[in-house]
Structure 1
Amino acid sequence: MVKESRVDVLIIGAGPSGLMCANALAGAGVDFRIVDNRPIGVPAGQADGIQPRTIEVLQSYGLAEPLLKDGAQMHLCAFYNPGPNGGIERTGRAADVTAPTARYPFKITIAQSTIEAVFIDSLKSQGIAVDRPIAPSSLEISEDAEELLNPLSYPVKVVLDHMLPSDTAPEQEIVHAKFVVGADGAHSWVRKTLGFSMDGEQSDYIWGVIDFVPDTDFPDIRNRCAIHSSNGSCMIIPREGDKVRFYLQMSDKDVMDPVTGRIDKAKVTAERLIDVARKTFYPYTVNEPKEVDWCSIYIIGQRVASKFSAKDRVFIAGDACHTHSPKAGQGMNASMNDTHNLAWKLAQVLRGRADISLLKTYELERQKYAQDLIDFDREFSALFSGKPRTSDNEEGVSHEQFLTAFQASGGFSSGIGVHYMPSAIVDTAHQACAPSIAIGQRMLPQIFVRVADARPVEIHDMLPSDTRFKLLVFVGLLTSEQLGKVGRLAEELELPTSFLQKYNHPAEGKAQSMFDIIPIAAGNKDDVNYLDIPPTFRTHWSKVLIDDTDVTGRLGGGAYERFGIDPKEITMVVVRPDGYVGMIAPSTAVESMDKYFGSFLIVRQEKP
């Protein structure tokens, strides 16, 4: 008899994207399972770079600390080009991250297996494990329109094969799921089963990659380097401990089988890659490595899936829906941010707090981002793989050209510049209230001071990814007149018709309330009494902040001016559960907030 089971969310694939999804759903108290067809996770190699925005996201789940502690940090990038002696010479250095608002102005590099272990340990602490080795063998989605619109139904049927020793047929299980997330990699079974195409192109650029402990006299071996030599290009990525990763441009003769004209992976050995590096690095020496971890080869391709969801019940994420070159360090970052975007939406729909239409914003936001990403990657890869400009090749890529593109792409490659377009959850009508807080982008980092105890706090640390909407209420300079305005706004938000009352479902189990309110005053910390803030806004003493410097005078201050907020007015900033700004409104436009939340949230029903 075939075993049957039910689950709210079935996650297929336990790479970074699937594990991010699992961790977020676990924190939200959602009933889910995560399965993977591999008996163990990635042992070596694969992705290794964590961008500044992804560090912020991991921090919002309380997971950044071990990676900040153990990973290598890339602060500087060095550029090498052909020199007059026939070898390479350094032509410049620049900050590796050119995104001025990054909270963490560097990238972390560490093995993908270590990143996955952080998620797996977090899940284990909550009594959750990845089910392995399990592979899906069929997937069906109901055609019943009524069933599909009912978030309590189980319209997806997946047959799972529990893989047993090779001489035994797999045991089958039928899973009935409300939702399925396919995070099963570039060769995604889920994507192929849904019939989604991967649209884009493959380049002619062939690259080798090797992780090893080098023995070299190259002076920038611990910095990120972009090397253009007459023998091909190379990127150096410093790794944790003494390790380094080389991306090396390969010629056809290095990797092709002359008979078949196809890539012969057997030709791509560590020795062959080091030999290519020696020619590229001249006049610097690259000796036999002290230790080799992993090496591989790939052809750059840039593709995006035609769709990211089927009937808003089955979603694909990560490499299953976008592939690009690894040198801009985007793959794993884009993948984790896909499910960071999706998980809170699933949680609120499953709780009956948000309409199922909210799930349409996943494809709307992440597909456009993925398309922008491969457009960027195509340009960056072409510049990186192009021949360098020399006296013999005036048409080649110049250092200035590459540096300009490198610096211009900083906001995008760091993840800091991700900008979601207007939708049900991005309303730009009142952008003028805070011109420098871009609606649709992540909330800017900023240090404020807690009024109650003068402790400096980073606002990002008050915006955890816990499925709540954060309402930052910039209450301004608290004169007696302004306090009157604040009091009247509090009274308005206490009315049963206001969004705060209609949609603020109470906390239940692991499910938080819908809103977390953080009032932020202007002025001097010595002059403000946090008890003057009405209880509607003062939900806890630790939540009342002021835009002033700390007692040392070194941290905080200047936020009202930086954000373009008038301290004589009251400005409300809605930060979505994923840290992105959903809308901004003045205190005179509470009806705009009602309309915003009313477009995707469900009015709470009082229990009898």
Structure 2
Amino acid sequence: MVQIPEGASKVDVLIIGAGPAGVMCATGLARAGINVRIIDKREDKVMAGQADGIQPRTIEVLQSYGLADPLLKHGNQMHMAAFYNPSPTGGIERTGRAADVTAPTARYPFEVTLHQGEIEKIFLDAMSEKGVQVDRAIVPTSLEVSSDPAILSDPQAYAVKVVLQHMSRPESQQEEVVYAKYVLGADGAHSWVRKTLGIAMEGENTDYVWGVVDTIPETDFPDIRNKSAIHSRNGSCMVIPREGDVVRLYIQVEQAAFVENGRIDKSKVTPQHLMEVASKSFQPFTISFPHEIMWWTLYVIGQRVAARYSLHERVFIAGDACHTHSPKAGQGMNASMNDTHNLSWKIAHVLRGWSDISLLKTYEFERRKYAQDLINFDKKFAALFSGKPRSDDNEDGVSHEQFLEAFQTFGGFTSGIGVHYEASALVDPTNQHLARHLRIGERLIPQVVVRAADARPENIQELIPADTRYKLLLFPGDISTPAQKEKLGDLAHALSAATSFRRRFTPPNAPVDAVFDIVTICTTPKEEVNFTDVPLALRSHWSKVWTDDEQLAGGVGGKVYETYGISTTEGAIVVVRPDGYVSAIAPLDGVKYLDQYFSGILHT
């Protein structure tokens, strides 16, 4: 047992860094009732610039926390992308337009752009509702992880000691010692936590240098409010429209003058220089910059992934602390928030005593594989975007067709929709054939269903909120027929048995749906179905029974079984883990299989 010295602080989870990854984690943990503290070296939240693009899958994730509405209200939506290439007569010309998002199953088929400070505010407000605030102007100065195996194996032990410096206090009161059960380093690309742990970043820098400017331009460029990829003889540009009239410009610059030993000397370039480059690249269209520069920066494109994501599953890193890449595909903030969306519920389960501490190993297993895939994608995309365009005097350059094909081919990846977690204790693809089109290891595909009790239509993703519970989606077919009704009754009996996973892994005196939230989606027509047709043992509330039918207004709904590839007679039980990913599928008589599956994840 760890002895906490008098005067020291203690906390279940200490988060270092209040960027997107940090505030996402703090929000998830606070809502799970975990004692969490988040610190940041900044005296205030980000006021301008930084990351600004939210991809379709991340919008779905935010919605699972009930946080998508302010994003959609205040952000700019990008539905279309435009492509410009060198014109035979000089300057550039538009060579095509296409949908910005090429992910057919996206619930939100667009990107949302909004500056990072406003995105962080969404989480800060949600955290505040749970009594959690960011402690600011604080930096860590030392971090020690216990080497005692007994302490490390005890998920409730305060295994990490962190010394903090409060920069706003008088010198004699600056030092604070904190003991934490778990620590998250979400402290950016130059992560102090990562360096302290001695974790290497693996990868390399490219020789592509880009500038970024946020401003309100004056222009006759017709696609200034669409995402626009510009390949000109003067270099490449990307236009990202933002909230209000704001536009972000990514501008390729000549690297030779600015890179020294792999780093940029910002003193040798100014925003005015970037504007001049942009003006030349936009010709024959005119663009000027009469308004203030809200934010600007320079960067060298690099692709790196941390060699590991944790130390003893006690200290973790997330976001830019463990992966860096180019920003033009809009992945950085999205990857960061989805890192901690993956991690927070796992920490909550371990701290509640629901799962063994070994569950936390799946964080690195799942998210590092994704980061490696992201880096591989980014190398291809960055090379295509930064490469010289094909022309009469550069036949080996990048053609419009090549770029468009890559843009559309990678759509499932850039949107986040195609993220796939490989087989593990959490992800069991054994019964994939029961739902042929609902891939185990990927997020639940959105579809509209109709509530049995009142015919209210709703997206099925609304039935799987990020509330730390496993969702058991029952697909029994038409429960008005004797055969399917009998199958459902047998399932209710099996799940009610004292030996079933549902009974064994629900804590004593806890509500029946504390760990497993059961939702039934049948095919009985809405005019005939009764929510009471589902056995009481399978419905904790009248709102837990739905049907795969069109809504009363018609035209929407009635395609879940078809879309998922589920037989209306054979049926299926779809297990959705707390972060919205399908993790297992069982037959309707597969309670014994689920007993075995959950025995590998949960314990009493």
Using structure 2 for the length normalisation, give the TM-score: 0.97
1:256-275 correspondence runs (5 A): 263-275=264-276
Which residue of the partner structure matches residue 187 of structure 2? 184
**Aligned equivalent of 1:85, options 85, 89, 95:** 89
Shift of 1:561: 1.5
Query: C-alpha offsets along residues 213-258 of structure 1, whole Å, 9 cap, x if unaligned?
Result: 010000000000010000000010000000000000001366468x
Tell me, yes or no, if structure 1 residue 208 matches structure 2 residue 208.
Answer: no
Distance 1:175 1:255 in 2: 42
Indicate the percent of aligned positions where both proteins have the same amino acid: 60
What are the equivalent positions in structure 2 for 1:70-219 lying under 5 Å apart? 70-164=74-168, 168=171, 171-219=174-222
Match of 1:22 among 26, 31, 46: 26
Q: Deviations over 1:431-455 (max 9, x none)?
A: 0000111000000001000011000
Letter in 2 for 1:501: R
Tell me, yes or no, if the aligned pair for 2:240 and 2:248 is still in contact at 8 Å.
yes
CA contact (8 A) 2:264 2:300 kept: no
- Could you say which residue in structure 2 is the equivalent of 1:541? 542
Q: Give how far 1:552 is off.
A: 1.1
With over 3 angstroms needed to count, the CA separation of the structure-2 counterparts of 1:26 and 1:380, relative to structure 1, is same
**What letter is aligned with 1:95?**
A
- Counterpart of 1:415? 416
Shift of 1:556: 0.6
Distance 1:261 1:201, change over 3 A: closer
Check conservation: 1:506, 1:513, Cα contact below 8 A.
no
Q: 2:241 aligned with 1:238, yes or no? A: yes
1:444 aligns with 2:445: yes
Q: Separation in 1 of the partners of 2:443 and 2:48?
A: 32
Give secondary structure in 2 for the equivalent of 1:587.
coil
Deviation at 1:269, TM superposition (A): 2.1
Q: Aligned runs of 1:506-585 on 2, under 5 Å?
A: 513-585=514-586
Distance across 1 between alignment mates of 2:510 and 2:276? 61
Within-5 A mapping of 1:357-506: 357-478=358-479, 479-505=481-507
- Using the TM superposition, give the Cα deviation of residue 268 of structure 1 relative to its aligned residue in structure 2, in angstroms: 2.8
CA contact (8 A) 1:506 1:514 kept: no
For the residues of structure 1 that align with 2:482 and 2:263, how far apart are their CA atoms? 78
Matched-pair contact (CA < 8 Å) for 1:2–1:173: no
Amino acid of the structure 2 residue aligned with 1:591? K
In terms of mean alpha carbon deviation, does 308-317 or 536-545 score higher?
Answer: 536-545
1:69 aligns with 2:70: no
Report SS of the residue matched to 2:287. Answer: coil
| Greater shift in the superposed pair: 521-530 or 64-73 | 521-530
Residues 469, 305 of structure 1: CA spacing in aligned structure 2 closer, same or farther, 3 A cutoff?
same
Among residues 44, 47, 51, which one is paired with 1:43 in the alignment?
A: 47
Structure 2 stretches lacking a partner, 5+ long:
none
- Count matched residues: 599
Q: Quick one: which amino acid aligns to residue 482 of structure 1?
A: Q
Matches of 2:244 and 2:371 in 1, distance apart?
A: 32
Deviation at 1:523, TM superposition (A): 3.0
Give the distance between the partners of 2:100 and 2:225, measured in 1 at CA: 12
- Larger deviation, residues 115-124 vs 198-207: 115-124
Asked whether the equivalents of residues 53 and 414 of structure 1 are also in contact (C-alpha less than 8 Å), the reply is yes
For 2:278 and 2:173, locate their aligned partners in 1 and report how far apart those are by CA, in whole Å. Answer: 46
Q: What CA distance in whole angstroms lies between the structure 2 residues aligned with 1:506 and 1:234?
A: 60
Whole-angstrom CA distance in 1 between matches of 2:462 and 2:253 = 44
> What RMSD, in angstroms, separates the aligned Cα atoms of the two structures?
1.7
- Residues 268-307 of structure 1 correspond to what in structure 2 (within 5 A)? 268-307=269-308
1:368 and 1:403 map into 2 onto residues whose CA distance is: 26
The one-letter amino acid of 2:251's match is L
Look up the equivalent residue of 1:224 and give its one-letter code: K
CA distance in 1, matches of 2:187, 2:263: 27
Residue type of the alignment partner of 2:468: T
> 1:562 offset after TM fit, Å?
1.6
* Structure 2 contact 16–40 (Cα < 8 Å) conserved: yes
Superimposed CA distance per residue, residues 9-30 of structure 1 (whole angstroms, 9 cap, x where no aligned partner): 0101100100000000010000
Counterpart for residue 12 of structure 2 = 8
TM-score between both structures, scaled by the size of structure 1: 0.96
What CA distance in whole angstroms lies between the structure 2 residues aligned with 1:205 and 1:560?
47
Q: CA deviation at 1:349?
A: 0.4
8 Å Cα contact 1:486-1:570 kept in structure 2: no
Partner SS for 1:292: coil
Aligned-partner residue type, residue 284 of structure 1:
F
Q: CA deviation at 1:2?
A: 8.1
Amino acid at match of 2:196: T
